[in-house]
Structure 1
Amino acid sequence: MRRRHHFHIDHAGHSVSVTFQTGHTAVVEVLVDGKETGHATTTGDRPVVVAIELPTDPPTPATVRALPGPGIPRCVLEVPGSEPHVMSPRLY
């Protein structure tokens, strides 16, 4: 059964949002400041890693790690030089 989960975090003045659709094939879409900057798919309960850039000067590379389970899915924003940030779930 497919379910959509939404996550969000503000980091360094930028908005990072994730739509994570679970099911046989997991689909992850990442938006930074409202623009799609990353997309990935995987099968089963494997973690999905999406490489993104934060639009700073110079651009800051980052990754979003989506963990489908078991249990409730989670998303983590990883930026070099700082601790991983757990993204807050959002209800839509």
Structure 2
Amino acid sequence: MRRRHHFHIDHAGHSVSVTIQTGHTAVVEVLVDGKETGHATSGHGHPVAVHIELPTEPPTPATVRAAPGPGIPRCVLEVPGVEPQVMSPRLY
């Protein structure tokens, strides 16, 4: 059975949102300021890293690490020079 899980964090004035659709194959979609900037798939609940850029001047590289399972999905935002930040779950 497929379920959608949503996560969000604000970083450096930008909104980063993640949707994880679980199931046999997990689908991870990342939006920065409402625009899709990355996606990935993962089989059997394996963690996945999605590389993105924050639209700063110059652009800031970042990585969203998503763990679709087992259990409750989790997301972490990693930006160079900053402690990794756990993304908050959101109910939609």
TM-score normalised by length of structure 2: 0.97
Query: For residues 43 and 74 of structure 1, what CA distance do their matches in structure 2 show?
Result: 16
- Let me know the Cα RMSD of the aligned residues: 0.6
Paired letter, 2:36: E
Query: For residues 6 and 71 of structure 2, what CA distance do their matches in structure 1 show?
Result: 15
Query: For residues 54 and 25 of structure 2, what CA distance do their matches in structure 1 show?
Result: 27
Query: For residues 58 and 78 of structure 1, what CA distance do their matches in structure 2 show?
Result: 17
Report the equivalent of 2:35: 35
Report the equivalent of 2:90: 90
How big is the shift at 1:69?
2.0
Aligned-residue sequence identity (percent) comes to: 87
Relative to structure 2, which stretch is displaced further, 66-75 or 14-23? 66-75
Relative to structure 2, which stretch is displaced further, 47-56 or 66-75? 66-75
TM-score normalised by length of structure 1: 0.97
How big is the shift at 1:70?
2.0
| Cα deviation 1:55-84 (Å, max 9, x = unaligned) | 000000000000012211100000011110
Q: Which consecutive unaligned segments of at least 5 residues does structure 2 have?
A: none
> How many residues matched?
92
Runs of 4 or more, structure 1, over 4 Å off, are none
